[in-house]
A and B are shown apart, each in its own frame.
Chain A
Amino acid sequence: DSGVTQTPKHLITATGQRVTLRCSPRSGDLSVYWYQQSLDQGLQFLIHYYNGEERAKGNILERFSAQQFPDLHSELNLSSLELGDSALYFCASSVGRERYEQYFGPGTRLTVT
């Protein structure tokens, strides 16, 4: 158990809908990262928050947004869902801002039908 929690574990929804994925980092970790793992794109970095502030963006679509709250948990919002958004979404956390080991949560498996 990495100490990073993600909810829900599984999510099935229809095209055009909006969903919210939740992540709680390890105790003491200030950084939260989101990743998407799909069959054709592999594991891709989406976005990084440090202590409530956005630090870096990766291959995140405009239909997706995220935030980190004062209690350091984070939410990833996915809207206008398409079939191609079906994937495993991981959250990771680390202590520091840049140069620290990341620990991954169990992931949320999103299926868009």
Chain B
Amino acid sequence: GIQVEQSPPDLILQEGANSTLRCNFSDSVNNLQWFHQNPWGQLINLFYIPSGTKQNGRLSATTVATERYSLLYISSSQTTDSGVYFCAVNKLTFGTGTQLKVEL
């Protein structure tokens, strides 16, 4: 089956910093979503982005399907951004996530 790799596995930021999370996948995709799992376990939809670029406030995402990767940008990070960020493809196959901690 398709493999999904995310990097970095862990990230610690100071509040206000910017970051880029990467998702690589091993085969073509027809679905790609980014999720944030908050410390209470809730999975929150960030983007549905099988291709192209989208922005939502301080977050944006880009998927280059032909090169089999997607990027999630977080700007001006806040402590509430802490949690695990997952990329998931197709039906869905999840990556192992990026654990983000934003400190004051």
Q: Which residues of A contact B (CB under 8 A)?
A: 2, 33, 35, 42-45, 48, 56, 58, 88, 90, 98-104, 106-107, 109
Contacts and interface: CB of A to CB of B under 8 A. Distances in A.
Nearest to A107: B41
B45 A42 contact: no
Given A102-B33, A103-B45, A107-B42, 16 more contacts: A33-B91, A42-B94, A42-B96, A42-B97, A43-B86, A43-B88, A45-B92, A45-B93, A45-B94, A58-B91, A88-B41, A98-B30, A100-B31, A101-B33, A104-B35, A104-B42
- Which of A43, A58, A103 is most buried by chain B, counting CB atoms within 10 A of its CB? A43
Interface residues of B, number: 18
Nearest to A42: B96
A19 to B, nearest CB: 18
Nearest to B42: A106
Interface in B31-68: 31, 33, 35, 41-43, 45, 48, 50
Given A42-B96, A43-B94, A56-B91, A99 B30 contact: yes
A69 to B, nearest CB: 22
B45 to A, nearest CB: 6
B45 A101 contact: yes
